[in-house]
Amino acid sequence: MTTLRLGDTAPDFEQDSSAGKIRFHDYLGNSWGVLFSHPADFTPVCTTELGYTAILAGEFAKRNVKVLALSVDDAKSHKEWIKDINDTQSTTVNYPILADSDRRVSDLYDMIHPNASTTATVRSVFIIDPAKKVRLTLTYPASTGRNFNEILRVIDSLQLTDSHSVATPVNWEDGDDVIISPAIKDEAVLKAKFPKGYKVVRPYLRITPQPNK
């Protein structure tokens, strides 16, 4: 089994889900994607995560992101679980949950970690860009709920840095200052690209206001 690395093409698959058959690359289309896994249906931490993801539907939509969850139980079980999620989390789950009872997707994405569990998926997260490249991977222990505000923050950073010659510093949030790429040396290019100006802390560390704000 090959572990997915940043920059790898996200494997395509066709799998049943709570919303019918899903062919992954077709489902994403020209959107960004977040694929995240759950060890089983009717588990408490996952119930809170799936509910909060549904609450964030508008935030994902404005970033052109499609969400896809996965659990190793079947589609019928997923549909029953969604009723509980909607009821307990005061929301409406509006994205599919993959039914991975054959572990096909779990194996493709290396979500089964035998030293943690030989049957249940770990809490994996994959952020995938419109070119179907893996841009972020995160793995959480079973006892720790994921921070979906952090996932949105990373998407903001990736989308910003893909379109501008900048990087985002520690604890950056959308709207904060950013760091100019050290590769840009020419003064005329700097002035053209960053008309708001910039502060030189060190020759390799130059701070500028976020370009798209």
Catalytic residue, from 22, 28, 46, 151: name it: 46
For 182, the 3-state DSSP assignment is coil
**What distance in Å separates the CA atoms of residue 91 and residue 52, rounded to the nearest whole number?**
8
Report CA 137 to chain centroid distance, whole Å.
Answer: 8
34 close to 146: Cβ distance less than 8 angstroms: no
Computed on alpha carbons and rounded to an integer, the radius of gyration of the chain in Å comes to 19
Two tokens, residue 154:
């990373």
Give me the torsion for CA of 116, 137, 39, 14, rounded to 10°: -130
178 close to 207: Cβ distance less than 8 angstroms: yes
Cβ–Cβ contacts within 10 Å for residue 120, how many? 19
Task: Say which DSSP state 17 is in.
Answer: B
42 close to 67: Cβ distance less than 8 angstroms: no
Cβ neighbours of residue 201 closer than 8 Å, sequence gap 6 or more = 207
Catalytic residue flag (residue 173): no
Catalytic residue annotation: 46
